[in-house]
Structure formats: structure tokens, C-alpha cells
Homo-oligomer: A and B are copies of this chain.
């Protein structure tokens, strides 16, 4: 049963036609999925999905994620057919061209109506889990009147083979995210051939083992798909998987059902026969008028619902708070609270690990920012991510603000992306810095999309000690600095840690990493200022006494060593300046004049960081001396390791003397 007199198949064939035309014109693209999933997607978009193309940011819309992002022409077709202004027929003609609204994979920062960027397989489903978590949390805080929607995903075999999918589905199953519904494009084909080349997993059994409701239907039977979605919606205690048995490249006479159907374009004779088979319009880039009318009618199904929602919002006493949070604006009072904390910290002059200082900063910040939702990948006590304001978020208390993500770094990072993209919440979570390697795929996607998520990465060097080189980051700070679109902070003490948090929260459109020590650090900042010194990325922490002969640039735990070295050099009558550089990216965003002033122009330089030199030449010059790591760490008490690897104030003194 479709939503109009026009049959589901005819509407689906409009998707197939546009996808075929666009991929043919571009000369490249993935036609297999749009052809295969057009029927099921039509059911979803015309009968179930709550959305309004004229109000793409309507907060209570259902979220749709095309996890199998290579099938992007499916979503572009859907957006165009349902009436989104963002995807005109001209845009579809420009598929995969420079500057178009229709890039190769769906990019939320390019195309309105695309909820999240997908393409790297498995990310979409994990991101959707985050959206569904945010929905439940917002629902608990704002009520059914303001937040009550579903999250739908289309995922392919590839998504489900990726490990991240397991982390995502077990998290969703554990939480009982009943409003998460995954349509699995069960076409049994991947690039290398049939899935039986590489996989024998019974997906429904696998999902069932983790608490999902599972269903399997003919993905080309619209009634069967509709019934399955209805069953999935009705079960609000469990997330649902609907395995849609489909034929990849549906309609293509010789390609359908085969590995070669995945990519495109298909050869001209294949496409011609495909068009003939399905009765697609002869003219390219056209939609039969009554079919388009049916699509547009489907696209406007929820307009009244949206208006009713707006009326409820306007009438709600939570309207301004809701709107503020959804807009990503911080509440009043954050700066005052942060500054009061900084003042306390400076006055205390205590020696603590920066992870502890981060915990203290979070205690303040989660107290004044109710939309912050913390978490950890099973290292809560080590990451210092839980505060007195944050209780567990789960199906016993959806209003909780702390996620026990389990040992699932990758899904955690992706879920945070989804939470940020859902809006209304600011996610942060922790793991060891070394395990950034496990979540890097999702960290990068967050950087590309500009998602405000904050990655707390503790145990940030050999200072981790006895756990040894598998757990000791050496190259991780460098490798994250190399990534565009994300800022890496490595604060040196309690004050800088709060300032790093303030900076991380200040960017509405980009993620941050805060790298923190396991071991205690001595306070570097001796007096209070309301100014956020971390904001410039690097600054003169302690000026040379006497003539400036050397500039020591350090980050994090090595700033303390630099200050010690400064004293030792002063005792020899040598003037050394200490520059703290908690965020290299921000420093390089400053004016040349500022950079020159801080780094002292041609004055010789020493860099100090308990990591690799890679990337540091930009700061200290290729002639600069560097005190850091040349390779992997070792298992021993932290103090022994700093001595063993010669990361000491004496080593900095030696390096300085060499330079002068």
C-alpha cells in the first residue's frame, strides 16, 4: 500500500532513472545500491519517514542515514523527488563534479537534507546510534511534545562486515534503542564478488544475539517492507534490523545480482536494456509528472505535523533552552565559572595529573552546561570523565549524562559525531591516547564534518609508565596534528587544562582532542588572568632573565621540565625563554608578527615534548634541537622512562647549550 495512487514501483523507478542518468553522465558512481534499494527506500520515505523538505532542520524530524554512502544517488534522488531545494535537477546533472551539491558520497556539510557524511563503511550505522542516543536523552529532558522521532539507517554488507558495526550494534542492543531501525540491503554481493567470497555470517542471528528485534523480508515487496517497518516501530524496547533481500543492480539484465553491478556506470547496452526493462523515461533526467506529483505529495506529508510541533515549541516553557541547545550555543555563566575555577587552581598551586585537572574542569563545566554528555570506553576512573553532575545514561535513565560506552573506542567516537549532529547535546568522552588509533576513522569523519565532539585522551606519553609501549603514545599527538579540521590540545597544568576545555567548547563546528597526562605535573601558571592564553596556541610562559639566548618550546608535561631547565640555564647566566605551546594549530593561525615575537625570530630553539619530533621543525626549525622520543617506549615506572629516554631538564639544558 503506497501513499498515493502511483505504485511504489513506479516511484522507485524514478530513483532508478535519476541514478542511472546521473552516474552515466558523471561516468562514475555506484549504481548497484540505488537500483537495489529503491523499492524499500520508497516505502520508507513515502510512508514512514517524518520530514519536511521545506524545513530541513526541523528538530523533531526523523533522521535518515545512508550508511552505505557510496549509493549516494539514492539519497540525492530522494531529496530531489521529495522536494528539497538543496538538490535540483541541475544538481543531479552535476553529480560528482567540482563544487556541486551532489558529491560522490553524501556530505552533510554540502547538501542540506543529508544528516551525516558517509562513505567509509560502517560509520553511518555507528553515527546513527549516537543520533538515537541523543534523541532518547533529549526526549527525557524535553518530553514527547518536543522530541520524539526515529532514526533510520540503510546499511550494506560492507557496513556490517566492518568491526565498527559490531561495536555500534552491541551498544544499541544493550541500551535498547527502540527507535533505531536499520534496513540492511541484503544483496549478498560485494566488490570482490558474492559475499560468500569472504563472509558467512548470519546477520539476523548476529543482531539477535545482541538484543535486536530482527526481521527478514523481500526488499522488492513494498507491502512486506512496510509491515516490517511497522513492526520495528512498534517495538520501542529494542532496536530493529530488517534484512531486505534485494538484487543489486535490480533491472540490469546481465549485471543484476553480481559483483560488477556494485560500481558504475554500466556499459551503454546494459543501461539501455535496464531502461527498457523497467520502463524508465527515454529522455534523461526527467520524471513522469504524475510520479513527481506523488513524490512531492509524499514529501509534504509531515508539514502539518511540523507546524503542530512548532506550535508546541512556541507554547513550551522550555522553548528558549531547547532552541539554545539545538543551536549549539553555550548557556550563560560558563566563562565566569571557568575563570573562578582557574583562579582557584592558580591559588592552590597543586601538583596533579592534567587528567585530574580535566576531571576538575569537567566538574565545573558539566555543572553549568547541562547538555554536556560524558563517557568513556571503559576507562572512566582513568580518564576522569565522570563528574558529580553526570549519572549513567541508559534505558533506566535516558536523562542521564554519562555513557558507559564499553570497550568500543571506534563506535564511541562515531556515536559522538551522531550525537553532535543530532543537536542539543555536546558529547565528550575518554580513552587512552594510544587508542586514538582505534577510533581514528570516526575522529577523521568528525573533523571533516565539523562535529563538535571532544575527545579526552589521557595517558598521553611514556608517563603512562608500566603498561608499556603498546599503551604509550609516541606518534599520536603528531598524527592527530597532521589531520585537518581538528585541534589538538596538550595543556601543561590545571589552568591550561581549563583553558583548553574552554577552547574546545568554543568551536561549534569542529572537534577537539585534549591530551592529558597520567602523571602529576607542577603548576606552570603562577598568577591568574581571565584571558585565555591557550587561545593563541602558544605564548611566552616565562621570559628569559637577562639577554635572550635560547627559546625553549614545550607542551604538556614537558613544560615543567622546560621551566626547570630555564632555572638551570639562568644559574649559568644564560637567558632562556619558555614558550608553552598547548595547541600548535592555533599558534599557526596567529599573525606572523605574533609567531615571530613568541619564537624570538632567529634565536636558537629547543623543542620538548615526550613524543616524536615529526612536525616540530615547523616550530623550532630544522636546525632546532628536540628533546623527545625517537621510537617506541618501554614498560617501567614513568620516572625511570623519562630518565632512560633522556627527557629531562638536564637534557633540555644540554640541548640549549648545544644551540648557543
Binding site for B on A (CB under 8 A): 26, 28-29, 69-70, 96-100, 103-105, 107, 117-121, 157-158, 161-167, 170-171, 173-174, 190-193, 195, 197-203, 205-206, 208-211, 376, 378-382, 392, 404-411, 434-435, 437-438, 440-441, 444-445, 447-448, 465-471, 474-475, 478-479, 481-485, 612-615, 617-618, 621-622, 629-632, 634-637, 640-641, 644
Contacts and interface: CB of A to CB of B under 8 A. Distances in A.
- Nearest 5 pairs of A and B residues by beta carbon: A163-B163, A198-B406, A103-B635, A166-B166, A98-B636
A98 B209 contact: no
A621 B624 CA distance: 11
A202 B192 contact: no
B210 A161 contact: no
Contacts of A200: 170, 173-174, 210-211
A379 to B, nearest CB: 6
Contact of A378 (B192, B441, B445): B192
A170 B201 contact: yes
Given A99-B634, A174-B198, A478-B615, 11 more contacts: A96-B635, A98-B644, A104-B471, A157-B407, A161-B408, A162-B407, A162-B409, A197-B404, A478-B614, A485-B631, A615-B617
A203 to B, nearest CB: 8
Nearest to A156: B407
28 contacts: A96-B466, A96-B468, A96-B635, A96-B636, A98-B634, A103-B634, A104-B467, A117-B470, A120-B434, A161-B406, A161-B407, A163-B164, A163-B166, A170-B200, A174-B201, A191-B378, A197-B406, A198-B378, A201-B210, A201-B211, A205-B209, A206-B206, A206-B210, A208-B209, A447-B632, A475-B483, A478-B614, A482-B614
Contact of A479 (B170, B192, B482, B618): B482
A438 B120 contact: yes
Contacts of A485: 631-632
A448 B533 CA distance: 37
A163 B408 contact: yes
Contacts of A201: 170, 173-174, 209-211
A22 B108 CA distance: 53
A190 B378 contact: yes
Contact of A171 (B28, B157, B198): B198
Given A107-B468, A192-B404, A636-B97, A614 B612 contact: no
B158 A378 contact: yes
Contact of A468 (B103, B164, B634): B103
Contacts of A163: 162-167, 408, 410-411
A409 to B, nearest CB: 8
A162 B167 contact: yes
A340 to B, nearest CB: 31
Given A105-B635, A165-B166, A617-B622, A379 B191 contact: yes
A482 B484 contact: no
A612 B164 contact: no
Contact of A158 (B26, B407, B483): B407
Contacts of A479: 475, 478-479, 482-483
Contacts of A118: 470
A636 B28 CA distance: 10
Contacts of A629: 484
Contacts of A376: 192
Given A411-B163, A635-B96, A105 B467 contact: yes
Nearest to A158: B407
Nearest to A441: B437
Contacts of A205: 205, 208-209
B482 A612 contact: yes
A309 to B, nearest CB: 33
Contacts of A104: 466-468, 471, 635
A193 B482 CA distance: 36
A201 B612 CA distance: 40
Contacts of A29: 466
B482 A615 contact: yes
Given A174-B198, A201-B210, A378-B192, A407 B69 contact: no
A381 B622 CA distance: 41
Given A158-B378, A162-B408, A448-B632, A28 B466 contact: yes
Nearest to A206: B209
Given A105-B470, A478-B482, A190 B406 contact: yes
For A173, A201, A379, A471, the residue with the greatest tally of chain B CB atoms inside 10 Å of its CB is A201
Contacts of A613: 618
For A29, A164, A200, the residue with the greatest tally of chain B CB atoms inside 10 Å of its CB is A200
Contacts of A404: 192-193, 197-198
A441 B467 CA distance: 16
